[in-house]
Structure 1
Amino acid sequence: MSTDVLIRTKGRVDAYFGISEHGSTFKRELMAGTVTFLAMSYVLAVNPRILGDGPAGDLHDKGMPIQAVFTATAVAAIFGTLVMGLWAKYPVALAPGMGLNAFFAYTVVLHMGIPWQEALSGTLLSGVIFFVLAVTKVREKIIEAIPMQMKLAVGAGIGMFVAFLGLKSAGIVTASDATFVHLGDFHEGTTLLALFGLVVTVVFLALGWHGAVLYGILCTTVLGVVTGLVRLPDSLAAMPHGLDQTFGQAIIHLPDAFTGKMVVVVLTMLFVDFFDASGTLIGVANQAGLLTADGKLERAGKALAADSVGTAAGAIIGTSSTTAYVESTAGVSAGGRTGLTAVATAGWFLVALFFFPIFATFADVSAVTAPALIVVGVLMSRALGEIDWNKLEYAVPAFITVIMMPLTYSIANGIAMGLLFYPIVMLAKRRARDVHPVMWALMAVFIYYFWYLAK
């Protein structure tokens, strides 16, 4: 390729993404994409662990095929991130969301007894509904209907639930007939390994290292190999396969998804994904200086639509809801300002697709990935500080939302209980007029859920 062709191609790419317009460079965008990948690549180890959760885990034989989940995770991340980068032109990467995957595995499949194939159908439905909301003005009305305090509570509650999963997987918290839970055995090798992983990951985070979670997993794996708790893979790389076990299952089982139980499942997936995506996109855009003068999100419709397309496509491929990752802020802090950053991140996920043996080693021992879950839970729970605890009309439903998720082992129960109590407390405080009609409708849905469906 001649120099003139290269210059013209570079000029077209620059013009398409607006690289120079946003004060960035090709080198900076590509480096930012690499940083984003390092910050979020732990999903390739953690997501298969949660959705697969093999014979030794809670899901037993109800979990998804682990290698298929790994492949689906990488492919969904590649597809969703490319849509976000090439179409919406945001420096935001997508992948199966933490919290949403826990809801999929432990609430829908384990607690509600819904086969994972039907759960994928529910994910697909939530993605389609999300897309319709994203390209219409309905999204603004829904955002206005749900009070900010409840949005914060849901995010914090999911953080608590994810952290509880990590503590349980690490053996730091174990079951007790007398007190339900108690402190684990710190003489167990895997528990000590998980504690080591938690300490080093927290130290890396405190030092401000991008990719701290991944580095924590790596250090824990190395110690696990040295102590004989983790087995080295037979090979470093392998051709991706297993997708035939999950691809299209969401479409095949779509007719089975129209049941009373699935209404709550789809609503919960939609609620969490919609507001998580909105909050993440606004946060990343604010850090990148991409908000308008009045604080609105540029190309909001495209950005949210890209997220919803990622969710629907991810379900068809074979994984839980795919959503925008807050770790994208790591890339933005490294200078990423355009969709080229996202394209670069997708490129790294493509490379990672061929290294299943390495990521499988991370996922094979729960003590290796448990610290990542705990730390992700901590980061998600920061929203607790933004809740107005001085007002009972917010404090009561928020607290119930947060506490019910880990105690009932169900994200859906926490959201349903919190949104049920919100109108009740507002009514008691003589503020019924401030409750949006949508909230009263949701209250009726969740009363039906608890009376007829919850168990």
Structure 2
Amino acid sequence: MAQFFKFKENNTDLRTESVAGMTTFLAMAYILFVNPDILAAAGMDQNAVFVATALSAAIATLVMGLLANYPIALAPGMGLNAFFAFSVVIGMGIEWQVALFGVFCSGIIFTILSVSNIRETIINAIPAEMKYAAGAGIGLFIAFIGLQNTEIIVADDATIVALGDLSNPSVLLTIFGLVVTVIFLVIGLKGGIFFGMVVTAVVGMIFGVINTPDSIVAPIPSLEPTFGQLFTIDFSSVFTLQLLIVILTFLFVDFFDTAGTLYGVANQAGFIKDNKLPRAGRALLADSTAGPIGAILGTSTTTSYVESAAGVGAGGRTGFTSVVTALFFIVALFFSPLLAVVTPAVTGPALILVGVMMASALKQIDWNRLEIAIPAFFTILAMPLTYSIATGIAMGFVFYPVTMICKGKAKEVHPLMYGLFVVFLLYFIFLK
């Protein structure tokens, strides 16, 4: 095993890798409860999504560890699950089974791109600032969902949104959880978001805001309500411009989020050599195949997690870290009764603070260049205000060629960006 994972070459050992794998799991374990909560809004069975989340994370992380030998874990992505539930299913009125088919298609396309040179062409075609804007906008959107689900922010006839009732016990529990989780993160506690959820749930049960579960361990729930449901749709009516936009958005967000995560975590681990990532093709292949697997199981796009940096910080340097993380996800399958205590008050702080982390991409945008700042701003602003990640990306990609042409930099715009301009313009004309 030491030879297979190259412990000696990476200056690590079994104990260090095991601790790192557990650390990574704790840092991202919140997804086991947040993802079912979000996809339940799309009408999906919460228990089945819990199983799909754990299985997709375990399988994808195991593939990453064994194929690419990297300490990078995967799970259904935050932002992509929100886009799936709130923009595609609720916003566009698309059935969740069809949305899963969209996830499946985007994953297949991503896999093809990952084994070809087209990947580099697409990465180079889209300006870095627009990628950062998309990430930051998704962060704000996720935070807004967290504030709304917990009723810290409520609807208002006069101002559209307003501050909720702060005397509501559930709202107070959310605020408590937010403060506790902030403290955990600021002091650098590994798995701060997960432990914040645990403390919030325990306090909620003590004060009667959350019902105490009948048990902690139980048989694994049935996966039948979601497994393979994407293949039960009417294929004669799914290939529409609307679904094409959905597939492109899933692909875009996953594609660049994956690239950023892989290179960011790899750089922290010291793997980057001459600005290149060794075994990048294997890592991207492992990530891209995770999407179709997750869709078949019954969850939104599975992708690489930046929380893997926690495991790297604990000393993880090889794929064995990922193997350990995958095993923890398998063990987690037996703890489904805990879903009963994971209410919006418990998941809300996690959503809000994940939003904070994603919004850090704002610092990468050159706000002094208006030809860049304007499309980036509309991308970021439109996502929470229109309740749609797709609309935010579309708006930014429509403005970008226009501002660049007006600045006299039309030749600096890649032809692919002009193609996307036409696609998203049609999106506004026919779908909005």
TM exceeds 0.5? yes
Per the alignment, residue 79 of structure 2 pairs with 99
- Deviation larger for 319-328 or 163-172: 163-172
Per the alignment, residue 179 of structure 2 pairs with 199
C-alpha separation in 1, matches of 2:86 and 2:362: 23
The counterpart of 1:121, out of the listed 88, 101, 118, is 101
CA contact (8 A) 2:221 2:336 kept: no
C-alpha separation in 2, matches of 1:245 and 1:223: 32
The counterpart of 1:183, out of the listed 154, 159, 163, is 163
What secondary structure does 1:354 align onto? Answer: helix
C-alpha separation in 2, matches of 1:373 and 1:254: 34
Deviations 1:136-187 (A, max 9, x none): 0000000000000000000000000000001111211111100101111111
C-alpha separation in 1, matches of 2:239 and 2:307: 34
- Pair 311,98 (structure 1): closer, same or farther in 2 beyond 3 Å: same
CA contact (8 A) 1:122 1:257 kept: no
Deviations 1:28-70 (A, max 9, x none): 00110000000000000100000013xxxxxxxx410000000
1:412 aligned to 2:400? no
CA contact (8 A) 2:61 2:74 kept: yes
1:225 aligned to 2:217? no
Percent sequence identity over aligned pairs: 55
CA contact (8 A) 1:90 1:342 kept: yes
Per the alignment, residue 443 of structure 1 pairs with 421
Aligned length, in residue pairs: 431
Per the alignment, residue 192 of structure 2 pairs with 212
C-alpha separation in 2, matches of 1:330 and 1:154: 24
1:453 aligned to 2:431? yes
Look up the equivalent residue of 1:291 and give its one-letter code.
I
What secondary structure does 2:154 align onto? Answer: strand
The counterpart of 1:26, out of the listed 1, 11, 14, is 14
Gap runs ≥5 in structure 2: none
C-alpha separation in 1, matches of 2:376 and 2:102: 26
Question: Deviation at 1:297?
Answer: 1.0
Look up the equivalent residue of 1:204 and give its one-letter code.
F
Per the alignment, residue 407 of structure 2 pairs with 429
Question: Deviation at 1:83?
Answer: 0.7
Look up the equivalent residue of 1:374 and give its one-letter code.
I
C-alpha separation in 1, matches of 2:338 and 2:46: 13
The counterpart of 2:338, out of the listed 358, 369, 373, is 358
C-alpha separation in 1, matches of 2:104 and 2:278: 26
1:134 aligned to 2:122? no
Look up the equivalent residue of 1:357 and give its one-letter code.
P
Deviations 1:79-134 (A, max 9, x none): 11011011111100000000000000000000000000000000000000000000
Look up the equivalent residue of 1:26 and give its one-letter code.
L
C-alpha separation in 1, matches of 2:23 and 2:384: 32
Instruction: Give the alignment's TM-score, normalised by structure 1.
Output: 0.94
C-alpha separation in 1, matches of 2:145 and 2:391: 16
Question: Deviation at 1:361?
Answer: 1.7
Look up the equivalent residue of 1:428 and give its one-letter code.
C
Instruction: Give the alignment's TM-score, normalised by structure 2.
Output: 0.99
Look up the equivalent residue of 1:278 and give its one-letter code.
A
Question: Deviation at 1:350?
Answer: 0.6
Per the alignment, residue 88 of structure 1 pairs with 68
Per the alignment, residue 10 of structure 1 pairs with none
Question: Deviation at 1:264?
Answer: 0.3
CA contact (8 A) 1:161 1:409 kept: yes
Look up the equivalent residue of 1:264 and give its one-letter code.
I
Per the alignment, residue 244 of structure 2 pairs with 263
1:110 aligned to 2:90? yes
- Deviation larger for 295-304 or 423-432: 295-304
Matches within 5 A, 1:322-361: 322-361=302-341
Per the alignment, residue 275 of structure 1 pairs with 256
C-alpha separation in 2, matches of 1:322 and 1:354: 21
1:378 aligned to 2:344? no
CA contact (8 A) 2:375 2:396 kept: yes
C-alpha separation in 2, matches of 1:257 and 1:239: 36
Question: Deviation at 1:254?
Answer: 7.3
